[in-house]
Chains A and B, each alone.
Chain A
Amino acid sequence: MSELLTQTAIVATVAAALRLAMPLLLAGLGEMYGQRSGVLNLGVEGVMLLGGFFAYWTALELENAWLGLLVGLIVGLIMGFLNGVISVTLKANQGISGIGVFLFGLGLSDLLFQKIVGTPRLIDPLAKVEIPLLKSIPVIGEAVFTQRSIVYLAFLLVPLSMWILNKTTFGLNIRAVGENPAAADSLGVSVARTRYMTLMIGGLLAGGAGAGIVLTTGTFQQNFTAGRGFIAIALVYFGAWRPIGVMLGALLFGFVEALVTQLKTLELIPVSSQDLANMAPALITVLALVVVSQRFKPPAALTRPFSRGG
């Protein structure tokens, strides 16, 4: 066990936890906006997959990871708008339509990859950015302040989201529409427009999450998200629909995954027990979810489409 407490191991674990938390945080924050305004989007994973593919392809062809990120964000934005059409204008059942978006994203991203790219090829990932001064802090500095820029961006979105939700009119509108859309409507807030905007933000961030994964692993693979989009949705519940909560959830999940990985590398978990250990992140998150959800209530209008006068 002492091997785990060496500086190398601690730095490796903390750094890995932040990297693993990044896509969960991005996708989770995006989903949080939508759910705060009353729309459940189960298609996060599909948007991540599509955003990830287009980010990968752009980075591959143009040899520029930043352009890839931009394209991934734009694709996510478009998918968010599509979600708006489905959930807000067409008022579809949000649970089912979300799964439809997931399957669409999974199939299309795989089809496009097969037809356009073919065999997996590696791309140059986003560069690591070392923050001067801060990176010299013992232990923590090396783990936290030598990440790729998208990790910093993801965490900076947390205080930004807190400010947007709590200190701006837009944030007030979001919360009002999510709790009592009829009342908000009667006061002149456009429920539809607010929900479209939160869904587009959600799509943007989900596309960014998928792009973040491909631009840090440097590759694309069918179904590369492996369920992380759904974990992100669960983290919104875990985080009680608050940015800090979503961040804590992402960090919890990322940290447990990083810890299990490190323990396996140090040969502290024998191969025979690895199946069990691999369940740990999901198990712990579910347990935490059960405990937390006893105490917080979801936005009152969540999953209910709004029709004026009815």
Chain B
Amino acid sequence: MKRTKGIRRLVVVFAALALVAGACGGDDEGGDGDAFRIAIVAPSASNDLAFSQSIVDAITAIQTEMGADAIEIAVSDGLFVEADAAAALRGYAEDGYDLVIGHGSQYGALLSEIAKDFPDIAFAWGTASDTFDLPNVSAYTAAADEGGYVQGVMASMLSASGNIGVVGPVDVGDASLYVNGFVNGATTMGSDVAVNFIGSFSDVTLATEAANAHVANGADVMTGTAQMVVGAVGVADQNNVLWFGTQSNQASLADSIVVSSQVYKWEVVLSGLVDSIKDGTLGGQVLEINLANGGLVIEYNGSYDLPADVRQAADEAVAGIIDGSMSTGT
């Protein structure tokens, strides 16, 4: 009994020390008063080669452009539990950040409440198009169907079996847009596309099995979206199946089979948002990145030898979408 008590005391002391150490070891410095401070709350890792990485890359690009002294960044990632995200958003607002970004469709309800409590702080919600009629909230979204359509056209031309597989998370937001655009692009060119929304953003096992099923069914080209898609890319790599990426450039994952990726360049619209906040307009804007404004870019994998006719068809599709002569069908 005595020995147990001794161990218990030790554990309690150790835990208390760990908590204090954790609290002290925070990332945010006071910073100098002139820097524009941006905080990002994201649901997955900031280097997930997908959703969360896109916003962190964008704000970092803005910082590079405007100067490291002009922009200060704080990131809280991996917050897929909403209570944690709410605490982070509120914490940043209380710390007086100039722009607090909630990068996740699931954060909508949280932002609508928190933004009301801090009318002098600018908030941004992505990917979404609802600002809750609050003057200090902006929303940003991606016309992911546009790049999806272009990649769907390419996928169809590159598929020898005519059989294409899609691995998606949940049928919402930009995932839904991307998949719809992709399916339309591919079916317009005559291919059969099987779509599997696995119902989760993180279940790598299911994403892998979805890809396995597509491959067993004869698919020789695949695409997918959201962070669990890494598993599907692995299957594509092992089976020599071509892959189209979205949200971030996924060529580094599997250099030999990634054809291209639709990369999100949020900085195209967010730098304008930063400027208008500096000028005093805290919110009210609904921003969209698309092919026309350069917020969506098809980045081709240099290591993959893309046939010239496929590239031409893609360029024509991009031009057609930009000038309005082609529709993504969504």
Bound CA–CA A23/B205 (angstroms): 10
Which of B4, B171, B195 gathers most chain A CB within 10 Å? B195
Interface status of B253 (Cβ within 8 A of chain A): yes
B236 (CB) vs chain A CBs: closest residue: A122
Which residue of A90, A114, A122 contacts B237 across the interface (Cβ within 8 Å)?
A122
Which residue of B4, B45, B237 contacts A110 across the interface (Cβ within 8 Å)?
B45
| Chain A residues within 8 Å of B61, by CB | none
Which of A216, A217, A218, A261 gathers most chain B CB within 10 Å? A217
B137 shortest CB reach to chain A, Å: 28
| Chain A residues within 8 Å of B237, by CB | 122, 218
B234 (CB) vs chain A CBs: closest residue: A218
B172 shortest CB reach to chain A, Å: 10
Q: Given A90-B8, A271-B171, A271-B197, A119–B49 Cβ distance below 8 Å?
A: yes
| Chain B residues within 8 Å of A213, by CB | 204-205
B204 in contact with A219 (CB, 8 Å): yes
A278 in contact with B197 (CB, 8 Å): yes
Bound CA–CA A217/B237 (angstroms): 11
Which residue of B80, B194, B199 contacts A265 across the interface (Cβ within 8 Å)?
B194
Which of A110, A223, A274 gathers most chain B CB within 10 Å? A223
Interface status of B48 (Cβ within 8 A of chain A): yes
Binding-face segment, A12-20, A29-37, A62-70 = A12-20
Bound CA–CA A8/B49 (angstroms): 33
| Chain A residues within 8 Å of B227, by CB | 221-222
A228 in contact with B205 (CB, 8 Å): yes
Which residue of A8, A91, A261 contacts B206 across the interface (Cβ within 8 Å)?
A261
| Chain A residues within 8 Å of B11, by CB | 90
B231 in contact with A221 (CB, 8 Å): yes
Interface status of B247 (Cβ within 8 A of chain A): no
Bound CA–CA A38/B34 (angstroms): 61
Q: Which residues of chain B from 18 to 49 have a CB within 8 Å of any chain A CB?
A: 44-45, 47-49
Interface status of A257 (Cβ within 8 A of chain B): yes
A91 in contact with B4 (CB, 8 Å): yes
B197 (CB) vs chain A CBs: closest residue: A274
B212 (CB) vs chain A CBs: closest residue: A16
For chain B, the count of residues having a C-beta within 8 Å of the partner chain is 46
Q: Which residues of chain A from 265 to 285 have a CB within 8 Å of any chain B CB?
A: 265-267, 271-272, 274-275, 278-279
A119 shortest CB reach to chain B, Å: 5
B196 in contact with A265 (CB, 8 Å): yes
A17 (CB) vs chain B CBs: closest residue: B209
Bound CA–CA A157/B188 (angstroms): 51
Binary per-residue interface labels of chain B (264-284) against chain A in the complex, 1 for a CB within 8 Å, 0 otherwise: 000000000000000000000
A-B Cβ contacts below 8 A, count: 140
- Give the size category of A's interface with B: 35 or more
A122 in contact with B209 (CB, 8 Å): no
Interface status of B254 (Cβ within 8 A of chain A): yes
| Chain A residues within 8 Å of B8, by CB | 90
Binding-face segment, B98-106, B213-221, B286-294, B318-326 = B213-221
Interface status of B124 (Cβ within 8 A of chain A): no
Which residue of B171, B195, B212 contacts A12 across the interface (Cβ within 8 Å)?
B212
Q: Given A16-B213, A261-B206, A221–B48 Cβ distance below 8 Å?
A: yes
B210 in contact with A261 (CB, 8 Å): yes
Bound CA–CA A57/B179 (angstroms): 32
| Chain B residues within 8 Å of A267, by CB | 194-195
B209 in contact with A264 (CB, 8 Å): no
Interface status of A121 (Cβ within 8 A of chain B): yes
Bound CA–CA A275/B196 (angstroms): 10
B248 (CB) vs chain A CBs: closest residue: A119
Interface status of B208 (Cβ within 8 A of chain A): yes
| Chain B residues within 8 Å of A230, by CB | none
B234 in contact with A217 (CB, 8 Å): yes
A285 shortest CB reach to chain B, Å: 15
| Chain A residues within 8 Å of B234, by CB | 122, 125, 217-219
B197 in contact with A265 (CB, 8 Å): no
B78 in contact with A110 (CB, 8 Å): yes
B202 shortest CB reach to chain A, Å: 5
| Chain B residues within 8 Å of A23, by CB | 205
Interface status of A168 (Cβ within 8 A of chain B): no
A226 in contact with B200 (CB, 8 Å): yes
| Chain B residues within 8 Å of A226, by CB | 200, 202-206
Q: Given A8-B217, A122-B233, A271-B197, A16–B209 Cβ distance below 8 Å?
A: yes
| Chain A residues within 8 Å of B70, by CB | none
B214 (CB) vs chain A CBs: closest residue: A265
17 residue pairs of the A-B complex, CB under 8 angstroms, read: A120-B48, A120-B49, A120-B253, A125-B238, A213-B205, A217-B208, A222-B202, A257-B209, A261-B198, A261-B206, A261-B210, A264-B194, A264-B197, A265-B196, A265-B216, A275-B170, A275-B199
Using CB atoms and an 8 Å cutoff, list the residues of chain A in contact with chain B: 8-9, 11-12, 16, 19-20, 23, 85, 89-91, 110, 113-114, 118-122, 125, 213, 216-224, 226, 228, 257-258, 261-262, 264-267, 271-272, 274-275, 278-279
